[in-house]
Amino acid sequence: MSDLEQQNFTNKPRNRRAIVKGAAWSVPVIAAAIAAPAASASTANAGIAWTASSSSLVNLRVLDSATVVTAQVLPTVPTAFTITNGAGAISGPATVTIRVDRPSGINISLGRARGFGVYSYAGVPTPSGTREAVYQKTPIVLGVGGIEYGFPLTTYTATQNVTVDSNGQLVVPVEFALAGRSDLVAISALANFPVTLTVAFADGNTYTASTVVSVPVGAGVL
């Protein structure tokens, strides 16, 4: 190879414009990959609370019955709860349980009174198979006994789809109704029925919230 040929080969300038153009094209791709991590759902940052109630219900339904009872003095009944979410959207099934306990401090040893159960959830009537009402029973002695008495303990349990945006809220209306049977037992005290809501997500996170159904003396609905 001649000196002239060697000089032409070794000193040939590189195309700086092509190099710069290639670098400018590749940098945004890397930045975009860093700035867009995969989205993920999470229930770890949520919370629930009962957030609405009503003291204006005059007519109360009786579950699994066509009976409607008119209140002489109006009870206070919860009407909605709210799921407040933090970072990470929620979308998936959850087991929802609403339990209404017997009121404390009122002892009925003979005869039955009504309690409260869930009539509708999120505006949809609850199927009878999702609810139960359990009375206490007298002991069975020599084949005699097993008679129901007092107030029922009621439970509603169902799987519900829950969707809440990241940093969003979901308000769920709940309608309560009277549950069980009445033997016209006289109730001469304020009856507070404890209500416990439990929302258990499939990933293991569980949240609870409590409130009461309050029935004043003279309501005439129990």
Structure tokens at 75: 């009870």
Q: What is the pTM of this model?
A: 0.81
- Best CA proximity match to 170, nearest among 160, 178, 180: 160
User: Average pLDDT, stretch 64-84?
Assistant: 97
User: Average pLDDT, stretch 196-216?
Assistant: 97
Which H or E run contains 52?
strand 47-54
| CA dist 150 → 113, 115, 210, 218 (Å) | 6, 9, 22, 18
CA 197 to chain centre: 7
pLDDT at 39 over 50: no
pLDDT in tens, 99-157: 999 999 999 999 999 999 999 999 999 999 999 999 999 999 888 889 999 999 999 99
**What confidence score (pLDDT) does residue 193 get?**
98
Amino acid identity, residue 220?
Answer: G
**What confidence score (pLDDT) does residue 62 get?**
98
Q: Is the pLDDT higher at 28 or at 153?
A: 153
pLDDT at 17 over 90: no
Poorest-confidence range of 20-24, 61-65, 188-192, 212-216? 20-24
Could you state, in order of their start, the residue ranges of all structural domains in the chain? Answer: 3-35, 47-215
Q: Is residue 49 within 8 Å of residue 199, measured between CB atoms?
A: no
Is residue 42 very low, low, confident or very high in pLDDT (cuts 50, 70, 90)? confident
pLDDT at 29 over 70: no
**What confidence score (pLDDT) does residue 152 get?**
98
pLDDT at 7 over 50: no
**What confidence score (pLDDT) does residue 41 get?**
63
pLDDT at 9 over 70: no
**What confidence score (pLDDT) does residue 73 get?**
96
